Amino acid sequence: MTDDNLTEAERWDARYAESDRIWSGNPNVVLVREVKELTPGRALDLGCGEGADAVWLARQGWRVTAVDISRVALDRAAGHAAEAGVADRVDWQRRDLGESFPEGEFDLVSAQFLHTWGDMPRERILRNAAAAVAPGGVLLIVSHGGFPPWESHAHPDIHFPTPDELLESLQLPDGQWEVLLSDEHERVQTGPDGEPAHRMDNALKTRRLAR
């Protein structure tokens, strides 16, 4: 899975091609919890994968721009949107977010587990994400706080930022944003041999103040 000769896009395409579905097909729990009370508008989903979040948002009435580096994932996601009857509400964009970022302003920008194996400039991408939030809009970033137990020994040098570190790295201008949520929470995942494992995730939700 970490063949150094592959580009990031090729690695993710290969990962998605391993099976018909690599994620659960359900929208992320924190996204649903934190967004369900918001008034639907324009949403941007960064690293949308197989599209479960984008499809859920579209079903709630959002107009969604959903971006991923993997064409395999996006084709699959578009199929799910068509099955759900929301194909016309989602604009699927294949991009390497380290190289280009969607145009426009959004009432919600969501990055759910935007992690990868390679050298993605995640902090810069998430600063671009903040810049794309419209006045009054929300930025929701949900991240892993560390590796799962079955992988941690392989990457002792990799640091996962805490929500405070993430907030600082966003460099949000003073007086223009409010922090609505900054937490660390435990999640149970299933390991490669079917064993349950506890994993720390974190969530940061900020709102750009209306002008």
- When the beta carbons of 174 and 186 are compared against ligand SAM, the nearer one is 186
Tell me which residues touch ligand SAM (CB under 6 A). Answer: 8, 12, 23, 28, 47-49, 67-70, 73, 95-98, 112-116, 120
User: What minimum distance in Å lies between the beta carbon of 10 and ligand SAM?
Assistant: 11
Q: Which of 2, 47, 41, 27 is nearest to 135 (CA)?
A: 41
Is residue 135 within 8 Å of 175, Cβ to Cβ? no
Cα 125 to Cα 200: distance, rounded to the nearest angstrom: 22
Nearer to ligand SAM, 75 or 96 (CB): 96
Shortest distance, CB of residue 161 to ligand SAM, whole angstroms? 16
Q: In the complex, what is the shortest distance from the CB of residue 94 to ligand SAM, in angstroms, rounded to a whole number?
A: 8
Residue (57 or 114) nearer to ligand SAM, CB: 114
Distance CA 81, CA 84 (A): 5
> CB neighbours of 209 closer than 8 A, spacing ≥ 6?
135, 136, 175, 176, 177, 178
Residue whose CB is less far from ligand SAM, 90 or 114: 114
Rg of the chain over all Cα atoms, to the nearest angstrom:
17
